């Protein structure tokens, strides 16, 4: 239901479902990988966005402008308050009035809403296939982060974030919020509702 509601707010959307929904092991990575494996042949970029988010206004057009400004980088449109290294980079960019923050502390990468240049996808998946990780290792954010750290492909995070992560009670992998909001699930610097995202100059900040 959440995926369908989100898709109704966007254009050119494909809902990607878990290829093994009845599997013994729940796996965010399994579905994230499928989203990357099913990129249309004509595409230059792939936006992978989780279903439990709230979009900023004019999200489609704003993201297209952002991608046009930084077409050769992996882009991150949500950064939470944790890890603090990521949040700090966003805050520092904000004080400089920059529209991008480079995330180069890759314990893991936020994967709530990412845009991938298609030329990154094949080497990324090939890297994953070469690893000897146990089946229980299914953290999509850490898997992406390990490849970025290995290849030094530091992503750019939008300043501010253009999506907010909904604070659902139970996540796919069974994590529960035990009172209060989980800092990692809340945007460190979310665009204000009164701000017009079309006014953001995506040319300002790291290239």
- What whole-number distance in Å separates Cα of residue 54 and Cα of residue 56? 7
Q: Give residue-wise pLDDT tens across range 97-141.
A: 999 999 987 789 999 999 999 999 999 999 999 999 998 899 999
Residue 113 β-bridge partners? 49
In the predicted model, is pLDDT for residue 96 greater than 60? yes
**Averaged pLDDT score across all residues of the chain:** 90
Among 85-89, 95-99, 160-164, 170-174, which stretch is predicted with the lowest mean pLDDT?
170-174
The CA distances from residue 71 to 44, 138, 165, in Å, are 9, 28, 24
Angle between helices 140-151 and 28-37 (to 10 degrees): 60
Other Cβ atoms less than 10 A from the Cβ of 175: the count is 13
- Spatial CA neighbour of 48 closest among 103, 102, 124: 124
Q: What pTM does this model have? A: 0.91
Q: Are 81 and 133 in contact (CB under 8 A)?
A: no
């Amino acid at each position: 239901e959440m995926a369908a509601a989100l898709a109704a707010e966007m254009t050119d959307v494909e809902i990607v479902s878990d290829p093994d929904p009845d599997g013994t092991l729940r796996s965010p990575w399994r579905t994230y990988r499928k989203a990357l494996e099913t990129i249309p042949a004509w595409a230059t970029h792939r936006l992978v966005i989780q279903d439990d988010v709230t979009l900023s206004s004019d999200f489609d057009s704003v993201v297209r402008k952002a991608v046009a400004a930084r077409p050769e980088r992996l882009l991150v449109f949500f950064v939470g308050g944790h890890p603090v290294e990521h949040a700090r980079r966003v805050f520092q960019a904000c004080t400089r009035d920059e529209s991008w923050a480079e995330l180069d502390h890759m314990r893991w990468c936020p994967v709530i809403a990412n845009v991938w240049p298609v030329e990154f996808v094949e080497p990324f998946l090939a890297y994953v296939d070469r690893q000897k990780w146990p089946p229980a290792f299914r953290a999509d954010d850490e898997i992406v982060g390990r490849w970025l750290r290995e290849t030094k492909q530091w992503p750019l995070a939008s300043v501010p974030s253009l999506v907010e992560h909904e604070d659902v009670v139970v996540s796919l992998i069974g994590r529960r919020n035990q009172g209060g909001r989980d800092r990692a699930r809340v945007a460190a610097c979310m665009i204000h509702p009164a701000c017009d995202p079309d006014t953001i100059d995506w040319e300002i900040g790291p290239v």
